[in-house]
Chain A
Amino acid sequence: MSWSDLGTISPVIVAVLAAAAILLVDLAWPNRRRPAIFTALTGLGAVAVAILIQAGHTGSAFGGSYSLDNLTVFLDMLFVVIAALTILFAVDYLEPRGLPIAEFAAVLVFAVTGAMLVAGSTDLLVLFVALELMVLPGYMLAGFARRDPYSTEGAIKYFLLGSFSSAILLFGLAYVWGMTGTTRVDGVASALATAVAHGSLQPGLAMGLAFMTAGMAFKMAAVPFHYWTPDAYQGSPTPVTAYLSVGPKVGAFAIALRLFVGALGPLKADWLPVVIVLAAATMTLGNLVAITQDNVKRMLAYSSIAHTGYILVGLAAYAGGQQTGLSAILFYGAAYTFMNMGAFAVVTALQRRPGVSSQIGTFAGLGRRDPWLGALMALFLLSLTGIPPLAGFWAKAYVILAAIQAGGWLTALAVLAMINAAAAAFYYLRVVVYMYMREPTEEAVASSPGVLFRVGLAAVGVGTLIFGLFPALVTAAANAANVFHD
């Protein structure tokens, strides 16, 4: 270890310090929310500064087990944004329910630390440890409303299936280590390239590949490994759901990039068919089940499964020979972060008062009751549907373009993705129907969110629009972050 190693991982260090600072502040001023929120947001700001200082630089630390490149910077930045938004949205929800904000913020920042470490890890073991650091706080957050049985149920399901899938992933990593003799990503890649050059896939590698694929599919909630998602999402406190739907998902795709593209790239001809099937099944099932949901949180959970499917199309396009597939994944991740967090934020605002359900009936007449909230929700839902000129449209167009470029079966996958997108319009627009075309069924739910919440909501709203009107900004960043070259 040298000082330059520490410099390379400085954003991660700052993040750990920020999380620790939140805990200390909470110790000094217990049960006071302002100092904790201030520390959390300042800390995240410091992390962002540390990341931006590194922008454009490359390097590696700890003997090649951590890599600083544009991909790390892009993903780190996204994770920080996710954490900051989550905190902005959470205050209004946690406070009326008497849930501690400082603990929440600290756990969240720890989770993001793990995610940032995932983004930069180029060693199988570091990757696994980072992954665990990312998901363990996630289990805690899911069960954060201790007295709510649904929250506990969701957390336990999430924990059990999450641990199970981590074990499976680790098993797969062990196989790959055994077959290639190294845990360094580049070492694995070159060993595999040699192995591929010498003929067919060895059984040990095939086993490793299968286990790793299953483990990764669990983490990103791909069908048929998605069963934890609806319950965990629906049971968790809504701001946590907002976080879970984007943070660990982008994290899982970070693993996909570092592991499948970085290390297992030489085997892509072998995992391409699997990813195609996963993508097709994930988006189709996610959408079909989402159509039948009457609870908006659960509906958004299934919709997030469907979006995993669309993102997997980008991965498949990469495996089919198109580099742009990876840029498309990154773009999708960023766009999805904004629009999906926005949608969950609106649900959070409605549920500010404890006891308000996330049933679709809660949205009845929202457009009249609260025109701004209604309009923003409509914006996010239209973006999720993929209506131009909003962020979600470009995300889909980018992925589809990559798939078309790859050709062959990928074209069929692109057609399936578009048919799915049309079907998804049904359930997204159904919420719009409730907001604008039905009268309120129960007494009006007062939302009037606080200042922090408004700032966050404005940020995601503007982000969804700016991404849509000037996608070139993000495509440039996503292309730069695409550090993989054959």
Chain B
Amino acid sequence: MSLPILSLITFTPLVGALVVAVLPSNHPDLIRRTALFFALAAWTMSLGLLGAYAFGQTGFQFNEATDWIPTFGIQYKLGVDGLSVLMVVLTTTLTWISVLASFGPIKDRVKGYMISFLVLEVGMIGVFLALDLFLFYIFWEIVLVPMYLIIGIWGGANRIYATMKFVLYTLVGSLLMLIAILATAYAYQVGHGGSWVGAFDFQQLQRFAASGQFGDAFQNLAFLALFLAFAIKVPMFPFHTWLPDAHTEAPTAGSVILAGVLLKLGAYGLIRFAVPLYPHAAHTFAYPIIALSVVAIVYGAIVSIVQPDLKRLVAYSSVSHMGFVTLGIFVFSATALQGAILQMINHGLITGGLFLLVGVIYERTHDRTIAKMGGVGAAMPIYATVFGFFILASAGLPGLSGFVGEFLVFVGSFGVAPIISVATIIVMVLAATYLLWMFQRVAFGTLSDFLKGLGGHLTDLNRTEMATLLPLAVLIVVLGLFPSLVLDLLRAPAQAFLAAAGVVGG
């Protein structure tokens, strides 16, 4: 038997959480370093996975499968394709960066915090690796609890409201998803003479779906339930209202993971499960979803312009950026889908970086109000430079990764509906507006009175902060110049997605 590398990656953070749990609480530095060690271990292994992954092959690799609850054919089944490899690497990368970024800001109850973070990582990785629908659901729900605690315990002033809203929104979606999953498995069971074997196995179900055996009416209902769960997580307009609150109240690292990984869970679910299992329904609802995506893109951008709070601004910009992802998925073109997935990664890197940068300024000023800032460039030149870099990346400057993803979505959707492409290009201008205007108000000019009052506290980026931001910046440049590194990995998954979605011929 070969090395179960996927299980190792998934459960290394869990081992870390258990180790942290038995460490003495009065040694916070030891706890921090141990957590970082395990996060880095998972990251290293995920890089090893990426290196060992056979490019260009179709199907899943490194498969692991054991029976878990044989009565209902529920398996512990993991596997990766190009999409999940990338998502896992994104997750492990952002997790260690977040853990490192929490070294300074989190001083209270460090132990619980690090345990939450490591458990969160288990859930996130598991979601991307699970090939059994039930297992997927379980990992999906495991993500919920640590994030609830991270926002609720270590968050800002209004944290309890924000965290309850986050949980309730997510739970409504996910419980409906559970019904859809059970109903899907049951439909499969009925189609196989009452045998539960393989009823929750994604590959079996997809084969079943590909042969057109899920009825249209059933597909519509199941798709809607799954879509709702994923749309809340993405979040798509009009299910996005939990996001600004959760982002604003979460601690910096919580925001990074929320934006960087949690939102991707929803998009991943749409690509992996919702469309391939219910292709007919996906086509039926494609136009309304495209419309909602465009609304999200435009609405997110417009609302971002008027946000007075740095974090809220970045949060609303996420709504806009994630709109490109859902748009890219539902125009059913290989180019657009690759762009959408690239955009998922870019958004994780860029928005993750922006939240880190907002966290840096918040650490020093305990404020995020844009109006109180000004002249940061004079006091913190390195900070302002790095901030400017991430701002330009977020605005889609060619040469940086943000541009490529959005561009591919334009190109891919142009063939389907040119009007959409035109509308979204206008948003590029809006994005530049709210981002650069915000940057101008924060960084340029003379030092504001509020910042002057802080005096010597306004120190430039320290080494830890640089260590969290630099890897992200490097990745943004590399992916901006050589997007083919990622796109090659995505060719096979994109073809598989279209093959699954194209069964009923659009």
Residues of A within 8 A of B (CB): 367-368, 382, 386-389, 393, 397, 400-401, 404-405, 411, 414-415, 418-419, 421-423, 425-426, 429-430, 432-433, 436-437, 471-472, 475-476, 479
CB neighbours (8 Å) of A421 from chain B are 171, 175
Q: Contact at A429–B179, with CB atoms within 8 Å?
A: no
Instruction: State which of A387, A401, A471, A479 has its C-beta within 8 Å of the C-beta of B141.
Output: A387
Measured in the bound complex, the distance between the Cα atoms of B168 and A423 in whole Å is: 7
Which of chain B's residues 79-134 have a Cβ closer than 8 Å to chain A? 109, 112
- B233 CB to closest chain A CB (Å) equals 14
Measured in the bound complex, the distance between the Cα atoms of B76 and A472 in whole Å is: 13
- B6 CB to closest chain A CB (Å) equals 18
**What 0/1 pattern do residues 150 to 180 of B give for CB contact below 8 A with A?**
0011000001100110011001100110110
Instruction: State which of A401, A405, A422 has its C-beta within 8 Å of the C-beta of B175.
Output: A422
Q: Contact at B186–A388, with CB atoms within 8 Å?
A: no
Q: Contact at A418–B145, with CB atoms within 8 Å?
A: no
Q: Contact at A418–B175, with CB atoms within 8 Å?
A: yes
Q: A425-B168, A436-B152, A472-B69 known; A397 and B182 CB under 8 Å?
A: yes
Q: Nearest residue in B to A385 (C-beta to C-beta)? A: B171
Let me know if B138 is at the binding interface, CB within 8 A.
yes
Q: A397-B178, A437-B152 known; A426 and B168 CB under 8 Å?
A: yes
CB neighbours (8 Å) of B37 from chain A are none
CB neighbours (8 Å) of A397 from chain B are 178, 182
Q: Contact at A472–B142, with CB atoms within 8 Å?
A: no
CB neighbours (8 Å) of A426 from chain B are 164, 168
Q: Contact at A401–B144, with CB atoms within 8 Å?
A: no
Measured in the bound complex, the distance between the Cα atoms of B160 and A476 in whole Å is: 41
Q: Contact at B179–A400, with CB atoms within 8 Å?
A: yes
Q: Contact at A472–B71, with CB atoms within 8 Å?
A: yes
CB neighbours (8 Å) of B160 from chain A are 433, 437
- B189 CB to closest chain A CB (Å) equals 9
Measured in the bound complex, the distance between the Cα atoms of B72 and A397 in whole Å is: 12
CB neighbours (8 Å) of A437 from chain B are 152-153, 159-160, 163
- A339 CB to closest chain B CB (Å) equals 15
Q: Nearest residue in A to B170 (C-beta to C-beta)? A: A422
Q: List 18 A-B contacts (CB under 8 A).
A: A387-B141, A388-B137, A404-B186, A411-B183, A415-B179, A418-B175, A418-B176, A418-B178, A422-B172, A422-B175, A426-B168, A429-B164, A433-B152, A433-B160, A436-B153, A437-B153, A437-B163, A479-B71
- B1 CB to closest chain A CB (Å) equals 22
Q: A433-B160, A475-B69 known; A419 and B138 CB under 8 Å?
A: no
Instruction: State which of B112, B163, B186 has its C-beta within 8 Å of the C-beta of A401.
Output: B186
- B157 CB to closest chain A CB (Å) equals 12
- B105 CB to closest chain A CB (Å) equals 17
CB neighbours (8 Å) of B144 from chain A are 387
Shortest beta-carbon contacts, A-B, top 10: A418-B175, A388-B138, A422-B171, A422-B172, A437-B152, A472-B69, A401-B182, A388-B141, A404-B183, A425-B171
CB neighbours (8 Å) of A422 from chain B are 168, 171-172, 175
Q: Nearest residue in A to B183 (C-beta to C-beta)? A: A404
- A445 CB to closest chain B CB (Å) equals 20
Q: Contact at A425–B167, with CB atoms within 8 Å?
A: yes
Besides A400-B182, A429-B148, 17 other CB < 8 A contacts? A382-B145, A387-B141, A387-B142, A387-B144, A388-B138, A388-B141, A393-B138, A397-B178, A397-B182, A404-B183, A418-B179, A422-B171, A429-B164, A433-B163, A437-B153, A472-B69, A472-B70
Let me know if B358 is at the binding interface, CB within 8 A.
no
Let me know if B303 is at the binding interface, CB within 8 A.
no
Residues of B within 8 A of A (CB): 68-72, 109, 112, 137-138, 141-142, 144-145, 148-149, 152-153, 159-160, 163-164, 167-168, 171-172, 175-176, 178-179, 182-183, 186
Q: Nearest residue in B to A327 (C-beta to C-beta)? A: B71
CB neighbours (8 Å) of A404 from chain B are 179, 182-183, 186
Measured in the bound complex, the distance between the Cα atoms of B167 and A414 in whole Å is: 21
Measured in the bound complex, the distance between the Cα atoms of B186 and A382 in whole Å is: 27
- B335 CB to closest chain A CB (Å) equals 37
Q: Nearest residue in B to A367 (C-beta to C-beta)? A: B112
Q: Nearest residue in B to A388 (C-beta to C-beta)? A: B138
Q: Nearest residue in B to A471 (C-beta to C-beta)? A: B69
- B254 CB to closest chain A CB (Å) equals 14
- A257 CB to closest chain B CB (Å) equals 20
Measured in the bound complex, the distance between the Cα atoms of B164 and A190 in whole Å is: 53
Measured in the bound complex, the distance between the Cα atoms of B138 and A284 in whole Å is: 25
Measured in the bound complex, the distance between the Cα atoms of B177 and A414 in whole Å is: 12
Measured in the bound complex, the distance between the Cα atoms of B218 and A404 in whole Å is: 12
Measured in the bound complex, the distance between the Cα atoms of B177 and A397 in whole Å is: 12
- B219 CB to closest chain A CB (Å) equals 15
- A143 CB to closest chain B CB (Å) equals 38
- A9 CB to closest chain B CB (Å) equals 32
Q: Nearest residue in B to A472 (C-beta to C-beta)? A: B69
Measured in the bound complex, the distance between the Cα atoms of B142 and A308 in whole Å is: 26
- B169 CB to closest chain A CB (Å) equals 9
Instruction: State which of B72, B148, B176 has its C-beta within 8 Å of the C-beta of A415.
Output: B176
Measured in the bound complex, the distance between the Cα atoms of B183 and A471 in whole Å is: 20
CB neighbours (8 Å) of A430 from chain B are 164
CB neighbours (8 Å) of B182 from chain A are 397, 400-401, 404
Q: Contact at A429–B153, with CB atoms within 8 Å?
A: no
Measured in the bound complex, the distance between the Cα atoms of B506 and A82 in whole Å is: 57
CB neighbours (8 Å) of B164 from chain A are 426, 429-430, 433
CB neighbours (8 Å) of B175 from chain A are 386, 418-419, 421-422
CB neighbours (8 Å) of A471 from chain B are 69
Most buried by B among A393, A423, A425: A425
CB neighbours (8 Å) of B142 from chain A are 387-389
Measured in the bound complex, the distance between the Cα atoms of B176 and A105 in whole Å is: 44
Q: Nearest residue in B to A479 (C-beta to C-beta)? A: B71
CB neighbours (8 Å) of B112 from chain A are 367, 436
Q: Nearest residue in B to A394 (C-beta to C-beta)? A: B69
Most buried by A among B109, B168, B182: B182
- A372 CB to closest chain B CB (Å) equals 11
CB neighbours (8 Å) of A472 from chain B are 68-71
Measured in the bound complex, the distance between the Cα atoms of B440 and A330 in whole Å is: 64
- A99 CB to closest chain B CB (Å) equals 37
